[in-house]
Amino acid sequence: MFTRWDISDTTSQSLMFLLMLTNAVTIFIPPVLLILEFRIWLDAARLLLVFVLQTGAAIAFTCWTPQIQCPDQTADDIGECKLLNSYTVIACWIIPAISLCYSVYFAIVVYMQSRIPDAVD
């Protein structure tokens, strides 16, 4: 991204900045989940925040990828640009998929935990 920044168009630069910002926010959520006291609704809200941010960024990049202009240089440069765009589209859907799987697992564990009867003293 940084090597192609000066030859990228503004759409590409804006989308890459959005992806970087979203991933920066996503980096800070898991440590917060570990440090703070566990509350089901609060952890679910944080996971929902990560899922919405990542999915929104992935949808935005997927929708605007056809509008990204590759620089008019050699055929190799254009091919490399299109290949990098394709890899970025694929990569930006990985974190939403992982967070969805984790959220489903989280919901199943919370449901199974709620089915265990409380011990009576």
CA–CA dist 47, 41 (Å, integer): 10
CA–CA dist 28, 26 (Å, integer): 5
Q: What is the pTM of this model?
A: 0.76
High-pLDDT (> 70) share of the chain, %: 93
The tens digit of pLDDT for each residue in 37-96 reads 878 888 888 888 889 999 999 998 889 888 777 777 788 777 887 888 888 889 889 999
Q: Does residue 97 register a pLDDT over 90?
A: yes
**Region of poorest pLDDT, from 2-11, 44-53, 63-72, 102-111:** 2-11
pLDDT for 120 equals: 61
As given in the structure block, the two tokens for residue 9 are: 């168009």
Q: What is the mean pLDDT of residues 83-112?
A: 89
As given in the structure block, the two tokens for residue 84 are: 């990098």
pLDDT for 108 equals: 93
pLDDT for 121 equals: 56
